Structure 1
Amino acid sequence: MSLYKIAKNLVAIIFYPLYRIRVYGKENIPKQGPVIICSNHISNLDPPVVGITSPRDIHFMAKGELFEKRFMGKLLVGIQAFPVKRGMRDRNALRKGLEILEKNETLGLFPEGTRSKTGELGDPLAGAGFFALRSNALIVPCAIIGPYKPFRRLHVVYGKPMNIEHYRNSKASAKEAADAIMLEIKTLIENHEAKTTLLDK
């Protein structure tokens, strides 16, 4: 068994009961072909949560500084993470992301680029739009809803794959595509919160 599978199983054993995770729309993630899963970012625990709730193995970007430590670097590579230099256009990271998609694998992205300290959605960076426009990947929006507090319910919602052919054909900018992705995430959050509110009444 790979290190990724071992880590995924261990984290799942701890996180599912600890955060009472409930997953919706897992069937919306295509079983084959290149996929980009784009999620809001409310906690440093978001990558492992998306990782354990997705039926597909995911490659995530991680801060380049983390790879400078020998043990941590090997661990991150073992769980399919790759480095990105924050605050600048990292061509190596962009190239690596495209290579992952060319191999029909799954790339996990947080369009906001950094964790929201308030829980509110932030303005997306162009990165997610770049990968969406430069690949043939299907874009699956993901919403993480709820507090990361022990034994409080955490919801993970996967939406249906986005059709972004219009943006590709119209030569849209990467920022325009990223904005469209964030709008889908926002809609997922609002619709799910509305449903759970009705169920609670």
Structure 2
Amino acid sequence: MGAEQRELHDPEEESPFSESYVGGNGAPGKNQRRSNGNGALGQSGRDRFFAISGAICHRVLRRSARISIEGLERIPKSGGCLLVCNHISHFDPILLGMESPRPIDYVADGKLFNDLVLSQILGALNVIPVDRNRQDPRAAKTAVGRLKQGRIVGLFPERGIRHGKASILLGARLNPSAAALARMANAPVLPAVVVGSDRLYQLRSWRRPPRVFVSFGELLTLAPGEGRGSFTERIHERLLSLFESLVKRYEIDPIDFPHSAQERWKEEGRARK
């Protein structure tokens, strides 16, 4: 990984979780009042639903892919922490959570809550909706509150699925949202990397299980007086280190680096010819 791949965003670049946008009690504006979709389930019910969903996904995916998950022991047994991971497919939150000893409250695009059925499912999984197109103090307040309650909050700071040079593993700069949230909640960051999950978009992969890798790293804590930019850099460096270790240890071919679903579907078409 060259030095040019480690370039980061300006540490003062705003994000949906910018500290400067969570003033006072962090109350949302009129245009930001929306339901988290938690429905009638209590917290214990939502946690049970997460566990049951994870068990089902575990059975399906373990039969459909050769999955290597390492570092589960690094997930803290108690206390709040911010899980920060790259994002290459819709399977990523499932892979991260299906063997986690604790529930993970993911932050996800608020547009997903526009669908009535999906919003109920996401609410039952404790998902936190965020508006990616503007500063969202309500989402920040909710995430910080969950962290202070001692929960694990899962964040994909790339603001969507990213691949190639748009991926933080292959050249893109890391958005400071993770560092901002961790600072606001005074919570440690649990870095994680997923590689190969985009292979699951190929139908033939479900007949010939692809290799998929998940790695959880050591917790990162904010040093006294450390700024958001410095912490962002340390988080990014740890993510790159986890990725490089996976590539070296499992001899992962560049063809298995993050690719878009469209590219995987093209591979599927070529394989049929």
Q: TM-score, normalised by structure 2?
A: 0.66
Give the superposition deviation at 1:26: 0.8
CA–CA separation in structure 1 for the residues paired with 2:74 and 2:129: 28
Please name the residue that 1:14 is paired with: 60
**Does the residue aligned with 1:185 lie in a helix, a strand or coil?**
helix
Corresponding residue pairs, total? 194
Matched, 1:94 2:145: no
How far residue 16 of structure 1 moved from its aligned partner, in angstroms, is 1.9
Aligned with residue 154 of structure 2, among 108, 117, 134: 108
Which of the residues 98, 106, 122 maps onto 1:76?
Answer: 122
CA distance in 2, matches of 1:70, 1:114: 21
Distance 1:171 1:163, change over 3 A: closer
Instruction: Write the distance in 1 (CA, Å) between the matches of 2:237 and 2:108.
Output: 24
State whether residues 36 and 132 of structure 1, in contact with CA within 8 Å, keep that contact through their aligned partners in structure 2: yes
CA distance in 1, matches of 2:239, 2:129: 25
Match of 1:188 among 242, 255, 260: 242
Shift of 1:179: 2.8
Are the aligned partners of 2:107 and 2:156 in contact in 1 as well (CA < 8 Å)? no
Tell me, yes or no, if structure 1 residue 30 matches structure 2 residue 76.
yes
Is the 1:132–1:177 contact (alpha carbons within 8 Å) kept by the matching residues of 2? no
Partner of 1:161: 219
State how 1:37-186 maps to structure 2 within 5 Å: 37-118=83-164, 120-121=167-168, 122-146=172-196, 147-149=198-200, 150=205, 151-164=209-222, 166=223, 169-173=224-228, 175-186=229-240
1:90 shift after superposition: 0.5
CA offsets, 1:44-87, max 9 Å, x none?
22111111132210001121122122221111100111211112
One-letter amino acid of the structure 2 residue matched with residue 179 of structure 1: E
The secondary structure found in structure 1 opposite 2:251 is: helix
Q: Which runs of 5 or more structure 1 residues have no equivalent in the other structure?
A: none
| Greater mean deviation of Cα atoms: 82-91 or 140-149 | 140-149
The Cα RMSD (Å) is 1.8
- Which structure features the higher share of strand residues? 1
- Sequence identity (%): 25
Which structure is larger by alpha-carbon Rg, 1 or 2?
Answer: 2
Amino acid paired to 2:120 = K
Deviation at 1:171, TM superposition (A): 4.6
The answer to which of 116-125 and 56-65 deviates more is: 116-125
